[in-house]
Amino acid sequence: MITFLDSLKELSFLLILISSMVYRRHLKLTRWKRKLTIGEWTMYIVTSTALPVYAVLYIVFLLGS
Per-residue pLDDT of the chain (65 residues; tens, 9 = 90+): 878 888 888 888 889 999 999 999 999 999 999 999 999 999 999 999 998 998 898 889 889 87
Domain assignment of residue 20, given as a range = 2-64
Q: What is the pTM of this model?
A: 0.78
Task: Give me the pLDDT at residue 1, please.
Answer: 82
Question: What's the CA gap between 28 and 23, in Å, rounded?
Answer: 9
End-to-end CA distance of the chain: give it in Å, rounded.
Answer: 24
In sign, the C-alpha dihedral spanning 57, 53, 30, 41 is positive
The per-residue pLDDT for 7 is: 86
Helix (H) or strand (E) holding 18: helix 2-33
At residue 35, φ and ψ (nearest 5 deg) are -75, 135
CB atoms < 10 A from the CB of 36, how many?
15
Count of domains in the chain? 1
